[in-house]
Amino acid sequence: MQIIPAIDIIDGKCVRLTEGDYSQKKIYNENPLEVALQFEDAGLQRLHLVDLDGAKAGTVKNWKVLETIASKTKLTIDFGGGIKTEKDVQIVFGSGSALATVGSIAVKDEVLFVSWLQQFGANKFLLGADVKDEKIAVGGWLETTDVWIYDFIEKYINNGVQQIFCTDVSKDGKLQGPSIDLYKNILTKFPSLYFIASGGVATIDDLHQLKEIGCTAAIVGKAIYENRISLQDLKKINAY
C-alpha cells in the first residue's frame, strides 16, 4: 500500500483543519517545501497538496507553492483546491503537478469535467469524493448533496478515471480512525479501482487495517504532524 502524505496550504503555510472547518486551523510549518523535503528524505514518493485558499475562493491560489515543491523535489504531486476552469487545470499542470485533484466540479458540472478528461487524459486526474453518510459533500465540505457515493464512482470509472480517493468528512482531522466499513463497501463494489483512503488515520494500526481490506494507497496528514505516526514508520509501510 502506498503512503501519500498530505500538505494543506493556507496563506502559503502548511496547516490542518478539523472537519474542514476553516476556523479550526492549526499552522504546522511556515515553509511547505521543508515539509515536502522531509517526506522525500523518508523515501515517500507521492504528495497530496491541497490549496485550501483555492477551495474557498473557487479558483487556484497557491500554485506558487506547488511550483516550488515540484521544482525542488522528485515527488509525484497531486494538487487540488479551487480547480474550476480549464485555465485552473492548465495552471496546475504548468506548475508541475502530475495529477489535478478534482471534487466539487465533478459533482456540479459533469459535462465540463468529462471534457477535461477527454482533453487532458483521464489518467491525469485524481477524483476526490468527500462523503457524509455515503452522500457527496462539496465546496470545502460546506455543502452536502444527494449524490450517492457509489453512483458517483461508477459514473467516472466509466469515463476513464483511474484513481479515486474518498474522505469521510466526519472523520477528517479528528484522529479517530478511518471509515473502514465505507471503504470495504466501495472496494467490494469496485475491486479493481486504484482506491485511496483519506481521513481519520491516527495510528500505524489504522494503516495496516486499510492495507488488509485492499486499499491501494492511503493519505496521511494530521497523524504525521501530531507525531502519532513517524516518518520511519511510514517508510516501512510504504516498502511492502
Known catalytic residues are 8, 130
Grid cell, residue 80, equals 487540488
Identity of the residue numbered 175: L
CB hemisphere CA count around 221 (13 angstroms): 32
Nearest in space to 199 (alpha carbons), one of 1, 53, 6: 6
Map grid coordinates 494543506 to a residue: 8
16, 23 in Cβ contact below 8 A? no
User: φ, ψ for residue 116 (rounded to 5)?
Assistant: -65, -40
Pinpoint the alpha helices (H) of 8-85: 32-41, 52-57, 63-72
187, 158 in Cβ contact below 8 A? no
- What is residue 124's three-state secondary structure? helix
- Report which DSSP code applies to 82: S
